[in-house]
Structure 1
């Protein structure tokens, strides 16, 4: 089970990385087209006037997807910023209980957000909602990706709670505490 969960988190992080690469490619393409147009105008040739339609909007969708898809992996690798000034002073058993309880509360909040976002995506799909840019992106698509990221985060939070309650948590000893 541990291997399957770690693989799920890694796949989600890989998808997040691909979203960032897609943003890089789209923005680079737009910049290269502008530089080419500038050079063509300087040479007295008519510019290509090439643009990437809805670049800002699509980049925003990709950035949101990257953020949400990376949440579970960063939690599992213990690289989220944690404020543990109180819990580090608790006895080991109490710290595990507090850490597990916090993870379960966070999982409940994340599960509710997952449900709400999935319901929104289904509603957008049923209404045929699309974005307002030059490229009409069905809004259910980015909303579903965000819901998927939250679902994987919910699983990771439950995983963290189980690890904390069983004394195997990755939380203690982290160097990322504030």
Structure 2
């Protein structure tokens, strides 16, 4: 399991590095376009490339962003609930999210496959095959689906999801861990000792 986790960490890291590269390419392409306009010329298809880089950067960063707890999470309500109820709400949210993104991954690979088979091209000047940016979408939603499934099983087994385990960044998690440990100790005297 630890080897699989290390492989996943590398895949998430490579994916987020590619997302950062795409973001840098957006800046470089737009800066180049601004400079070239002073000389009365442009790069054909820059807008297309920028749009496709934006799509890639968003989808490639999804899983790593979740793992680093950088997505927006509204915890106003569940932070006031007892730990066991919070845990079951977390399990429910993880399962719904995995189902949603898994469905999105399924249909995005079908869309990319059909774009490849029918040789669909973008409508711009350059005419980029649409299956290329669609593969980035598939890759990103597949990785975040894996992340949700991984965290689902961690939470089912009684652990804390990867994205909320850093007590230094999230002090209420430390309280949750201690409350759950105290509750387990009360129900199981051997664990409490």
Using the size of structure 1 for normalisation, the TM-score is 0.85
- Deviations 1:72-106, CA, capped at 9 Å, x for gaps: 01100011111122221222122112102211110
What runs of 5+ residues in structure 1 fail to find an aligned partner? 38-48
1:171 corresponds to which residue? 164
Deviations along 1:109-143, whole A, 9 cap, x unmatched? 10000111110110111110001111010001101
18, 21, 30: which is aligned to 1:27?
Answer: 30
* Structure 1 residue 26, shift from structure 2 partner: 1.1
Secondary structure, counterpart of 1:16 in structure 2: helix
Q: Distance in 1 between matches of 2:87 and 2:95?
A: 12
- The alpha carbon displacement at 1:164 in A equals 2.3
Counterparts of 1:1-16 in structure 2, within 5 Å, are 1-16=4-19
Deviation at 1:50, TM superposition (A): 2.9
Corresponding residue for residue 79 of structure 1: 70
2:183: which partner in 1? none
Q: CA separation in 1, counterparts of 2:9 and 2:95?
A: 19
The CA distance in 1 between the partners of 2:105 and 2:84, in whole Å, is 31
**RMSD of equivalent CA atoms:** 1.7
In 2, Cα distance between equivalents of 1:159 and 1:85: 25
Q: 1:18 aligns with which of 16, 21, 40?
A: 21
Structure 1 residue 135 corresponds to structure 2 residue 126: yes
Match of 1:41 in 2: none
CA contact (8 A) 1:96 1:167 kept: no
Greater RCO, 1 or 2 (C-alpha within 8 Å, sep 6+): 1
How many residue pairs match? The answer is 164
Q: Which residue of 1 aligns with 2:176?
A: none
TM-score (norm 2): 0.79
Task: State which of 142, 154, 163 in structure 2 corresponds to 1:151.
Answer: 142
Within the alignment, does 1:90 sit opposite 2:81 as a pair? yes
